[in-house]
Structure 1
């Protein structure tokens, strides 16, 4: 993996080069092994937290980890195009619009001991801007080449905080055209629910049960590109102990292996749909 400036990443996409890189500020990674009509994204996979913010932050490292989406990049990393955040959403949230990307409080708890300076906010928001410059260039080129594109927007969520039974997989569809894409969403839901997972985990799947798909990553792509479907796909944290931070690698690997089959199947369904 090379370290590249955002400008060099954009030029590489413009020239249809295959490459794997980390942005030169280490805020995100992108891999393009081949140009294909689908993208896998993991915007909340990152855990990095800028050192200049450490002493000012009231949340512990565990509290930050608890709200992040660990292992979501690993689950899709075998695919030809993967873009993922490296920084914690507690520095800036790639799944929120720029004006709300820096938290004042998070999950009912104040985040900062004292208000962030303009310089600190600017440094964080520049990374947010850079990420979306690359996303825009990438989807633009893929729509030009393939006419229609599908994006697998991977997230996870904490199931133990719910006081009812919740699904292993949740698909959020509030901000996509369900008249046009509803049948494909249902096919994706069925595929996810078919997984045979270890440790006696039953792979249930529902639409808009725990979350509705209101993230900025989905909204940005959907609002700017009329022929790209974004599937906001959330897995409950059955692949770890969310109360201790222990990861269950056998579950992560099982999900990864299942997705190696299910995502190509879904891409084929998408390509064959008369949309």
Structure 2
């Protein structure tokens, strides 16, 4: 893996080079093993938290982990194009607009002992800006090369905090063109419902049951690229104990192994249908 500047990453994309890179400031990773008409993203996978912010933060390391989406990168690690955040959403949230990306309160609790200095905010917002510069270059290249693109926007959610039965998988579709892409959404829902998990973990997949797909990553791509479908895909945190901060690697591996074949099959079907 190379450490590259934003300009360096973008010029490699524009030249259609294959590479594995981490951004110069270690805020995100991008790997391109092959140019294909689909991209996997894990914007909330990151857990890094700048040391300068530690003393000022009221949330514990566990509270941060609880609201992040650990292991979402590993669930799609085998796919040819993967972009993932390295930093915690508590520093800046890649799935929110630049204006809302740096939290003052997070999940009902004040985040900072003292309000963040403007220069601290600027450091974080620059990382947010850089990430989206690369996203823009990447999706531009895929659309230019293939005419269409599909993005699997991977997330997870804390299912135990709900006071009703919630699905293992939720697809958020309220900000995409459902008239055009509805069939592909339903096909993806069926595929997710077919994944078999160990320990008899129940498998259900629903659309807009717990979340509606209001994230900035989805909205940014959808608003800027007319032939790209973003599927906001949330797995309930059945792959960990969300109260004890323990990951279950065998559950993550089961998801990853089945998506190795299921996801490209779905992407191929999408491409075949919409490439013209």
TM-score normalized by structure 1?
0.99
Instruction: Report the RMSD for the aligned CA atoms in angstroms.
Output: 0.7
1:136 aligns with 2:136: yes
Shift of 1:274: 4.4
Shift of 1:272: 2.3
| Partner residue in 1 for 2:123 | 123
| Partner residue in 1 for 2:69 | 69
Deviations 1:159-183 (A, max 9, x none): 0000000000000001000000011
| Partner residue in 2 for 1:9 | 9
For 1:61 and 1:229, locate their aligned partners in 2 and report how far apart those are by CA, in whole Å: 34
For 2:261 and 2:274, locate their aligned partners in 1 and report how far apart those are by CA, in whole Å: 22
Indicate the larger mover: 260-269 or 158-167: 260-269
User: Within 5 A, what are the aligned runs for 1:255-266?
Assistant: 255-266=255-266
Given the superposition, is the C-alpha separation of residues 274 and 86 from structure 1 closer, same or farther in structure 2, using an over 3 Å criterion? closer
SS of match in other structure, 1:183: helix
SS of match in other structure, 1:269: helix
| Partner residue in 2 for 1:27 | 27
Deviations 1:131-187 (A, max 9, x none): 000000000011000000000000000000000000000000010000000111000
Long gaps (5+) in structure 2:
none
Whether the 8 Å contact between 2:148 and 2:274 is mirrored in structure 1 is no
Shift of 1:265: 1.2
SS of match in other structure, 1:273: helix
User: Within 5 A, what are the aligned runs for 1:83-98?
Assistant: 83-98=83-98
| Partner residue in 2 for 1:216 | 216
Deviations 1:228-256 (A, max 9, x none): 00000000000000001100010000000
Given the superposition, is the C-alpha separation of residues 178 and 51 from structure 1 closer, same or farther in structure 2, using an over 3 Å criterion? same
Whether the 8 Å contact between 2:90 and 2:103 is mirrored in structure 1 is yes
For 1:128 and 1:262, locate their aligned partners in 2 and report how far apart those are by CA, in whole Å: 31
TM-score normalized by structure 2?
0.99
Long gaps (5+) in structure 1:
none
For 1:32 and 1:139, locate their aligned partners in 2 and report how far apart those are by CA, in whole Å: 12
Q: How many residues align?
A: 275
